[in-house]
Structure 1
Amino acid sequence: MFRRTKAMPYLDKIVDCVDCFISERFVHQDGNIHTDLVVQCQRLLINILTRTAFDYDPQQSSLTEPDIQQVFYDYGRYMTTLLIGTGLPFWVDKLFVMLHWKAHRVRRMAKQYIMKKIVEEQNRQEQQNCAQPNEPEIMIASVVAMIKEKSLSSKDSFLTPDEIFDELSLATLAVFDGMSAALSWFIFYISKYPESQQKIKQELKKHFSKSDAPLTLEILDSLIYIEYVMKEVFRFAPIETILLRQAICDDMIDDIPVKKGDQVGIAVQNLHHDSRYWNVDPLKFVPERFIEKDISPPHCANLFFGAGHRACAARELAFFEMKIVITRLMQRVTIEDPGEEANNSGGFLQKLNCFPKYVAVRVCVD
């Protein structure tokens, strides 16, 4: 469900969402300074999720139905709050969860909507009398088709509707607090390094005759420098500064005894900036490092998506969607550092993931 190949049919939908975002936020405020782009990145990516997962279009929704984009935005916000609360004493956390009626309300609304879409899609595919007649154009269609296909071969090897809801809940959280953090860091650093932004635009000009030209998979795959910049943003500002793993047996690491059950912290921020593992100065923002000198850094030194069996399951999908969003943004707008006019100093704000604390950029429509 979270493979790049599964997301390929969503390309046009993602581009449409980004275009709507640019029209609503920047076209009528051309050249203005924006200080709320972290929140707007969260809203944009939630809108992309509801569009690619359910083909939800607020312009075509019924006035009597709730705003599903707002429901999933609130659901992501409340889930983040509740998960941050896991650091509290158990009884405090349990009481907090029980009394957070707004979180329970939006969870119930999100679940009702997802269950309704599952039933609608099951009925649609049954009417076609075919498990998967065409390549699914939305995520829920792909999941339902997968359920039907697997149920024909095994009665106990497919996802139940409740499990589908859990998977989509996890996707909501990953989008709201993970991908939005990465996109926020990209916007911050691209404003600080205009030479990298200029190289992106030069690469885009080689493939597009005009700013609103259609984006295709072939063109997307040929955009290499954008990937270098994305990788450098992920390296320079990992959204998870530390990864925790539990030891499954007694061990000895650098003469330090590790007992079974111990929690081991992997300092991702440190590894990404350790000069022992990077040929080009790791304290500098240099996307070109991935062209030659740091094309294959040690596996342990680049952990943006984690590693091993517990690595991010949706890393292919996340990278693919991020590349589409960033490409379309760079195709249509220029992001500038406003200098002394606003506080664009970055800093770190730790939530579930690490966000830039101060982001204020001037956005000009090309």
Structure 2
Amino acid sequence: MKKYYFALFLEPLPCLPQRFFLGNILHLKNESLFSTLATCQKRFGDTYASYFGPSRFVCINNVEHVQEIFTKRHIYDRDSFIRSNIDVVLPKCLRTLLGDEWHLRKRIVVEPFRQTELPRYLSNLVHSWDLIIENWCIEKYVTDDSNKISSTTNGYMLELLMEIFMGDSTIPEVSFADFCDAFLRFNGYVDFMFTTFFLPTIVKKWRVKMTKDYRESEALLHSYVKKLSDNAVITEKNLINSFLEAHKKEHMSENDIFSDIIDILTTAYTTTKGSSASIIYYLSTNPHIQTKIKEELTTIGINRDTTLTIELVNRLTYIECVCQEVIRHSTEITPFVARTALQDDIIGNDHNRINIRKDDLLIICTYNIHHDPKHWKLDPYQFLPERFLDEDPDRHRYAFLPFGGGHRACIAQQLAMLEMKVFIIRLMLLVTVHRSKDIPTSAINPVIRQEETPDLTGVYLKPTDEEIS
């Protein structure tokens, strides 16, 4: 009751009008979270509060405040919102851990993602992206009749990630198609935990655990991961072997291994799917960017038969700028960064001072920061990869948060960037991306001044050979 009283009558920060018990939840009925955060920034400035029930969310858009939050790692740690939701379906995975337990697990998980390990992923990335691009060309359009990326594409993406993290993902006793189906169903329940964030955790846990479909998909995934562990090639340096080595040292249980494997796959799959869709969308709406990419590939001397190396990929400056611009615009790759205050604190100075209470959840509004004209000389709402060449060299270091920041930044960010670059390279070597002019696109959200999710309706790929002929 104290929390409700404070929320309704004593909130020192500006915030939208609240309802008893619900807080600001009803504002999301007609507006997405991104629209709400952007609307509040325009109305209240860089700092404001939101309430979901009695839980206080302090929304941060000031980059100096962001820097202070990331610097005070002993005060601001993994947010309770993520922990409480993920822990229901994937208990004790890396994202839910704190303190020494988190540090130990991070040392185990980070090994396959180190920069020195990246070269061995290149051949798998090239092969898998070629299969996906070929499948899109056969099906003509990138999406199916329901305007979703086809199930075949989902399978190829998941197989790519399994080969990166687990080595050979083939198990005679269980078909990979069954694993994909179970994974996608299970992933739907992970999404459910976040889309119903306003419900008490105990209600969501009961809803999930009592569902037969959830129990069946979880059991199949457990069985598959167990068989992968039993058949792992010990000489290979990958994620599953890092976990098995930790298991031998009693640093991880079998349930810990399962939770981390599925959590990492879920995060990587969502990011891969979102980034590839965004890349295709922005290339289809900006043909001149495709021309620049193809020119850069020709200048460097890369063709479809070139064996890619890390050194060659790193020379592709413009492609890297395109990747950064895709992330800057995306509402899916890094939608926001959240931290929970472990103790009372004050951030800012006398002019922009914020009193933080223990257990407050801080939401760093990355979309707003990525589109704040204070930090970007070129129009932040335009898709302009050139801004990362030399047009915006003096921006604040925390004005661009592609994979979060601080000690909780994404551990796989270098692999994610490599994956995006290889996708663009193979895409532009093999095809040109087009959009049918007679198919209308979805409406632009006037608040965030873009489509909330990439609309790939009518997008198709034409092989380069056909373009030339």
Q: 1:77: how far off? A: 3.1
Query: Distance in 2 between the 1:94 and 1:222 partners?
Result: 48
Q: How does 1:1-366 map to 2 (within 5 A)?
A: 1-26=112-137, 28-30=138-140, 32=141, 34=143, 36=147, 38=149, 42-56=154-168, 62=172, 65=175, 67=177, 68-121=179-232, 124-125=233-234, 132=235, 136=237, 138-141=238-241, 143-144=243-244, 146-147=245-246, 155=249, 158-208=251-301, 210-239=303-332, 240-248=334-342, 249-253=344-348, 254-295=352-393, 297-343=395-441, 356=453, 358-360=455-457, 361-366=459-464
CA contact (8 A) 2:377 2:391 kept: yes
What percent of counterpart residues are identical?
26
Unaligned runs of 5+ in 2: 1-111, 465-469
CA contact (8 A) 2:142 2:149 kept: no
Which one scores higher on RCO, CA 8 angstroms, separation ≥ 6? 1
In the TM superposition, what whole-angstrom CA distance separates every residue of 1:262-314 from its partner, at most 9, and x where no partner exists?
A: 11221111110111112222122110111112245312211121111221122
Q: CA deviation at 1:74?
A: 3.2
Residues 17/71 of structure 1: CA separation in 2 closer, same or farther (3 Å cut): farther
Give the 3 Å change call, closer, same or farther, for CA 261–275 of structure 1 in structure 2. same
Alpha-carbon distance change, 282 to 65 in structure 1, aligned in 2, over 3 angstroms = closer
Cα distance in 1 for partners of 2:315, 2:339 equals 37
Match of 2:163, as an amino acid? R
For residue 341 of structure 1, what is the amino acid of its counterpart? Answer: I
Would the aligned equivalents of 2:277 and 2:454 in 1 still touch at CA under 8 Å?
no
Query: How far apart are the structure 2 equivalents of 1:166 and 1:64?
Result: 20
Normalising by structure 1, report the TM-score: 0.81
Instruction: Specify whether residues 310 and 323 from structure 1 end up closer, same or farther in structure 2 by C-alpha distance, changes over 3 A only.
Output: same
Question: Displacement of 1:165 after TM fit?
Answer: 1.9
Q: What displacement does 1:143 show?
A: 4.5
After superposition, the C-alpha distances for 1:208-247 in whole angstroms (9 at most, x for unaligned) are 5643443333322222111100101111224233322222
CA positional deviation for 1:29: 4.0
Note the C-alpha offset of 1:177: 2.3
| 2:345 counterpart letter in structure 1 | D
| Contact 1:250/1:258, CA 8 A, preserved across alignment | yes
Higher alpha-carbon deviation: 98-107 or 262-271: 98-107
Contact 1:33 1:362 in 2 (8 A): yes
Q: CA deviation at 1:47?
A: 2.1
Paired with 1:14 and 1:72, the residues of 2 have a C-alpha distance of 21
Distance 1:340 1:347, change over 3 A: farther
Using the size of structure 2 for normalisation, the TM-score is 0.65
Deviation for aligned residue 1:88: 1.9
Is 1:338–1:344's contact at 8 Å kept on the other side of the alignment?
no
Q: Which amino acid aligns with 1:324?
A: V
Shift of the 238–33 alpha-carbon distance from structure 1 to 2, 3 Å rule, reads closer
CA distance in 2, matches of 1:163, 1:347: 41
Deviation at 1:94, TM superposition (A): 2.5
- Does the 8 Å contact 1:212/1:332 carry over to 2? no
CA deviations on 1:150-172 (whole Å, 9 max, x unpaired) are x6xxx45x434332222211112
* Paired residue type of 1:48: L
1:345 and 1:199 map into 2 onto residues whose CA distance is: 28
Letter in 2 for 1:5: T
Alpha-carbon distance change, 332 to 295 in structure 1, aligned in 2, over 3 angstroms: farther
C-alpha deviation, 1:81, in angstroms: 2.6
Please state how far the C-alpha of 1:73 moved relative to its aligned partner.
3.2
CA distance in 1 between counterparts of 2:442 and 2:365 reads 26
- 2:361 and 2:241 mapped to 1: Cα distance? 39
SS across alignment from 1:164: helix
SS of the residue aligned with 1:340?
A: coil
Q: Distance in 2 between matches of 1:139 and 1:33?
A: 31
Aligned mates of 1:64, 1:165 — CA distance in 2? 17
C-alpha deviations, 1:186-212, integer Å up to 9, x for none?
Answer: 111111111111111111223456434
| Structure 1 residues not aligned, in runs of 5+ | 126-131, 349-353
Pair 1:120–1:63, CA change in 2 (3 A): closer
Contact 2:136 2:142 (8 Å CA) reproduced = no
- Preserved contact between residue 278 and residue 454 of structure 2 (Cα < 8 Å): no
Letter of the structure 1 residue corresponding to residue 162 of structure 2:
T
